[in-house]
């Protein structure tokens, strides 16, 4: 190795060492500089105003600009983020120091996907299930969910359904409210008044909405939007509708008139694979089988058979009576 190459190597090492020392010293001086101010930015395109800059100022205790009397190395941005993210009205918070030695706080307010009403309280939830207490100060037009929620049945269980509805502009404008029944059936109240939808559970969401879409396009315009009181897509490959005033039909109508209180509506052949329920509950399956066996149609067929047997016996008796002794 000649002297020139050796000199180049030594100079390169010295330059790198100088840069490291200069950067470290500059960083040390910067960290010991005082904060020049606080900037708060709230990303709230919907103008919900769950939380304001004034709220954040109070939360971080900067009413009297205390951060401007602090050195940058005294400001724990990570701790600030944790504190702000624990607030129920905040979806996310990001805190950092800018080049001009200012504390920057970026806030995204909680984005609700539903308002929950249970027996104890009312609150909003976001897409991750984070709760935010409701207040008269603000209102958000989101689906309303009613139910008795506890450790076994929680509001976050319907998040897959809420996510699907929110991501579909048609169904998002269609759904007015949701109720969770004690047996876990999800009942959807549409904007179209006159009927409700038994959605079952949160399985096969897209398939269920496709079946609904088929019925709304082909059956409802003919039957009328208030002809049925319940449309059920709970069962796999089927849409089962219950007519209105069914109690009146049972009590006042003749046996023949009341046999069509419930009817299976036609769906696309693509949807019909078998007759098992979307909900995997054996008890539901047995219940449906019981309903079918005790249906008015079955009873009608039984009555016809009995009537036929009775007529046959009458004919035999007549023949026996007419025979000579």
Same domain, 272 and 230: yes
pLDDT digits (tens, 9 = 90+) for 234-262: 988 888 888 876 543 333 333 333 334 45
* Main-chain phi, psi angles of 191, to 5 degrees: -65, -30
pLDDT at 230 over 80: yes
Where residue 166 falls among pLDDT bands split at 50, 70, 90? confident
For residue 257, give the DSSP letter.
Answer: T
pLDDT of residue 186: 92
Tokens 């401007």 found at = 68
Same domain, 55 and 117: no
Same domain, 82 and 119: no
Q: Could you list the residue range(s) of the whole structural domain that residue 50 is in?
A: 31-109
The verdict on residue 4 lying in a domain is no
Give which of 99, 216, 202, 116 is closest to 158, Cα–Cα: 202
Boundary residue ending a domain (81, 109, 137): 109
Same domain, 196 and 135: yes
Boundary residue ending a domain (54, 89, 109): 109
Same domain, 128 and 264: yes
The torsion region of residue 284 among left (phi > 0), alpha (psi -120 to 50) and beta comes to alpha
Which comes out higher in pLDDT, residue 20 or 56? 56
Handedness of CA 24, 28, 31, 34 (dihedral sign): negative
pLDDT of residue 267: 57
For residue 280, give the DSSP letter.
Answer: -
Q: What is the number of domains present in the chain?
A: 2
Same domain, 40 and 72: yes
3-state secondary structure of 261: coil
pLDDT at 307 over 60: no
Angle at 67 between CA 65 and CA 68, to 5 degrees: 75
What average pLDDT score do residues 267-280 get?
42
pLDDT of residue 303: 44
What average pLDDT score do residues 213-233 get?
89
Instruction: Please report how the helices 159-167 and 205-218 are oriented relative to each other, as an axis angle in degrees rounded to 10.
Output: 50
Structure tokens at 47: 């103008």
Q: What is the distance between the alpha carbons of residues 198 and 183, in angstroms, rounded to a whole number? A: 12
Q: What is the distance between the alpha carbons of residues 251 and 255, in angstroms, rounded to a whole number? A: 10
Angle at 248 between CA 242 and CA 251, to 5 degrees: 115
Mean pLDDT for the chain overall: 74
pLDDT digits (tens, 9 = 90+) for 113-149: 888 888 778 888 888 888 888 877 777 888 889 987 7
The verdict on residue 299 lying in a domain is no
What residues contact 133, with CB distance under 8 A and at least 6 apart? 88, 121, 123
Same domain, 192 and 274: yes
């Amino acid at each position: 190795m000649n002297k020139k190459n050796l000199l180049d190597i030594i100079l390169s090492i010295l330059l790198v060492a100088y840069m490291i020392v200069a950067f470290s010293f500059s960083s040390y001086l910067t960290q010991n500089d005082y904060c020049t101010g606080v900037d708060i930015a709230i990303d709230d395109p919907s103008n919900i105003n769950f939380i304001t800059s004034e709220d954040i100022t109070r939360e971080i205790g900067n009413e009297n600009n205390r951060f401007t009397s602090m050195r940058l190395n005294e400001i724990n941005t990570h701790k600030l983020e944790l504190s702000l993210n624990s607030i129920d009205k905040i979806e996310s918070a990001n805190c950092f120091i800018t080049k001009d030695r200012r504390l920057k706080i970026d806030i995204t307010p909680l984005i609700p996907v539903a308002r929950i009403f249970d027996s104890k309280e009312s609150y909003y939830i976001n897409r991750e299930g984070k709760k935010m207490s409701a207040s008269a100060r603000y209102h958000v037009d989101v689906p309303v969910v009613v139910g008795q929620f506890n450790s076994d049945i929680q509001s976050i269980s319907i998040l897959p359904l809420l996510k699907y509805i929110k991501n579909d502009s048609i169904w998002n404008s269609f759904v007015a409210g949701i109720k969770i029944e004690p047996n876990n059936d999800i009942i959807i109240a549409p904007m179209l008044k006159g009927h409700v939808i038994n959605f079952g559970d949160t399985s096969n969401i897209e398939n269920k909405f496709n079946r609904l879409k088929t019925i709304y396009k082909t059956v409802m315009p003919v039957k009328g939007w208030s002809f049925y009181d319940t449309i059920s897509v709970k069962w796999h490959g089927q849409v089962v509708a219950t007519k209105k005033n069914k109690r009146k039909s049972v009590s006042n109508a003749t046996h023949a008139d009341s046999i069509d209180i419930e009817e299976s509506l036609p769906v696309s052949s693509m949807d019909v694979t078998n007759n098992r329920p979307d909900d995997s509950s054996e008890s539901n399956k047995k219940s449906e089988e019981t309903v079918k066996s005790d249906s008015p149609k079955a009873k009608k067929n039984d009555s016809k058979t009995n009537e036929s047997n009775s007529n046959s016996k009458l004919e035999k008796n007549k023949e026996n009576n007419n025979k000579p002794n």
